[in-house]
Amino acid sequence: MSGRDYEKQNDIDHTRIVTGDRNNTTSEDDNRSYQSRSSFESEYTQYQEGNPFKRFINSFKPIDLESDGIDTTGMTQVEKAVIATAKHPLARSLKSRHLEMIAIGGSIGTGLFVGSGYALSLGGPGSLLIGYVIIGYALLTVVNCLGELSVQFPVSGSFNSYYSRFLEPAFGSTFGILYALSWCISFPSELIAAAMTVQFWTTDINPAVWVAVFWVVIVLINLFGVKGYGEVEFVLSIIKVLAVVGFIILGICITCGVGDQGYIGGRYWRDPGSFNHGFKGLCTTFISASFSFGGVELVALAAAETQNPNVSIPKAIKSTFWRIFIFYILTAIIIGCLVPFTNDDLLNGTGIAASPFVIAINQGGIKVVPHIMNAVVVIAVISVGNSSVYGCSRTLASLAVQGLLPRIFGYIDRNGRPLVSIAFTCAIGLLGFLVAYEDEGTVFTWFFSICSLSSFFTWGAINVCHLRWRYALAAQGRSTDEIIFKSPLGTFGSWCGIVLLALVVVGEIWISIFPLGSPADVVTFWQNCLSLPLMIIMWVSFKTWNKSWNMLWVKLEDIDLDTGRRELDLELLKQELAERREELSSKPWFYKVFRFFF
């Protein structure tokens, strides 16, 4: 099928979008439009010709998408952005098993294995647990909101495009760029972490060599496209999950008396105590907790590259509750039982030696397990580095097709890879060679200050997008019966998430102005809060550049509730959803409980 044929067969669908006649097309036209679009993308994704070498070379060529003939005269920037992200031809190669493992173990990395020790030392076991519970619940509301939206609109860039659709483009630009920056900066820092972790075994090799090795590995993985990313994350996530579950079981055994220390129980919760530095100590755990949880939103980011988002995304979203409970809450309790917050290695240890996992196992007198945990940390670092390239490149590509970044970042080759965005992210990864610089820690501290608080704002904005999606349905006289996957927490959960994240930001600003154990310090404040004025400056700059001060929000009546759906026949969709609900209502209560959590 040629690009021109694709254009002609999609005229009906795109005319419907431009004119606003969203509900008057026939289901036959809609289905034919959707099927032709899917067929066209499949042809290009599976493009084959010539010998293997020629196929490899041709795979890097751009997808030959001709203009769809849409008359954009009089269209707002929001309408253009919505259509562009709905059409963006990323490959749809991720399966349910990929998405479920990305959801379960994709973000488990140094934040959990090492960063939890820093939070424990400053706040104590009680603060660590409360901090994980608060951030965990807030993230649970965010993920459920994302699940509802990404199943409904599995478009390029997912939640980055929702900011423009449900809020307005200046918010989309600001939050999208900050989110991309957070992954971009994370990539070289993970390379450095991997190099330093390997030094647990040998210090004879310059760490810059290991940075080069891991950089090449991660670049090659991402050149295999989304399927390569999915397969690697599937395997690495299984290893990380098994490691954490194994530590939990081993930790319970050590707490109950297995090992050199005898029975421990809640000894360290009583002496030296459950809390350190009071309420300020609790506030210090929030940043560490957010770093540990970072990446939960990757499930939604992958929505456009998923074969069947209606099935795979809800399953992945529902597993988030168990991941938070098992991998973070239980781990926080066990770490608090095994390691006192006064342990010197928590703050002064280097690399894996500062991990409470390793400290706990060493204190238990078990010799070989620290080497195993070190290997797991290396795997976790590679995984997070891999996710950094994926998250940053897809965000940049989404921003480009929305017209919020130069169009070159939206270049998609015939294998569905955002090639220019991947190349840009990998180039930034070369900053990992700063490992050879004496003050690399200071450099990265200032790099991370750019996006220090931005995660809380991007997460909170997702909850706002969910609320505006629900309110837009009501404002346009439509019911929630057309929602494919409803967030179990509903709009109440969205409001709770917004309030919690706002309070966390206030707490972080407070301890940045008045840090622990020292007087007010300007440098500390800007290192922790530089992202706050930066967001305001970016938002004002985008509003001024686009001359859009006449619109602070997209009106609820004007929000596009149709573009980007894979199911275009609303009546048929409502009928199918009603049948599912009726079938579920006929099941016994224990089955309903099971379906709620799985």
- Check if the beta carbon of residue 164 is closer than 8 Å to that of residue 81: yes
Q: Decide if pLDDT at 302 tops 70.
A: no
Q: What percent of the chain has pLDDT over 70?
A: 76
The model's confidence at residue 38, banded by pLDDT at 50, 70 and 90, is: very low
Instruction: Using alpha carbons only, give the angle 88, 94, 97 rounded to the nearest 5 degrees.
Output: 155
| pLDDT for position 59 | 54
Which residue matches tokens 């990929």? 98
Task: Please state, in angstroms and rounded to a whole number, the distance separating the CA atoms of residues 5 and 8.
Answer: 5
| pLDDT for position 37 | 45
| Total residue count of the chain as it appears in this document | 598
Task: Please state, in angstroms and rounded to a whole number, the distance separating the CA atoms of residues 569 and 349.
Answer: 59
Question: Using one digit for the tens of pLDDT, what is the confidence trace for 543-556?
Answer: 898 888 887 888 99
Question: Using one digit for the tens of pLDDT, what is the confidence trace for 257-270?
Answer: 877 777 888 888 98
- Exposed (0-12), middle (13-18) or buried (19+): which is 513, by Cβ within 10 Å? middle
The model's confidence at residue 404, banded by pLDDT at 50, 70 and 90, is: confident
Mean pLDDT taken over the chain: 77
| pLDDT for position 128 | 92
Average pLDDT over residues 519-540: 86
Delineate the domains of the chain, giving CATH numbers in brackets: 72-87+105-567 (1.20.1740.10), 571-598 (no CATH)
Q: Which residue has the higher pLDDT, 496 or 567?
A: 496
Q: Decide if pLDDT at 87 tops 60.
A: no
Q: Decide if pLDDT at 297 tops 60.
A: yes
Question: Using one digit for the tens of pLDDT, what is the confidence trace for 142-159?
Answer: 989 988 888 888 776 667
- Exposed (0-12), middle (13-18) or buried (19+): which is 76, by Cβ within 10 Å? middle
Q: Which of the given ranges, 36-40, 447-451, 567-571, has the highest pLDDT on average?
A: 447-451
Helix-helix angle 522-529:490-513, to 10 degrees:
160
Return the structure tokens found at 395.
């965000």
Q: Decide if pLDDT at 70 tops 80.
A: no
Question: Using one digit for the tens of pLDDT, what is the confidence trace for 359-373?
Answer: 888 877 777 777 888
Tell whether the torsion through CA atoms of 212, 214, 218 and 223 is positive or negative.
Answer: positive
Average pLDDT over residues 452-471: 91
Q: Which of the given ranges, 5-9, 313-317, 592-596, has the highest pLDDT on average?
A: 313-317
The model's confidence at residue 443, banded by pLDDT at 50, 70 and 90, is: confident
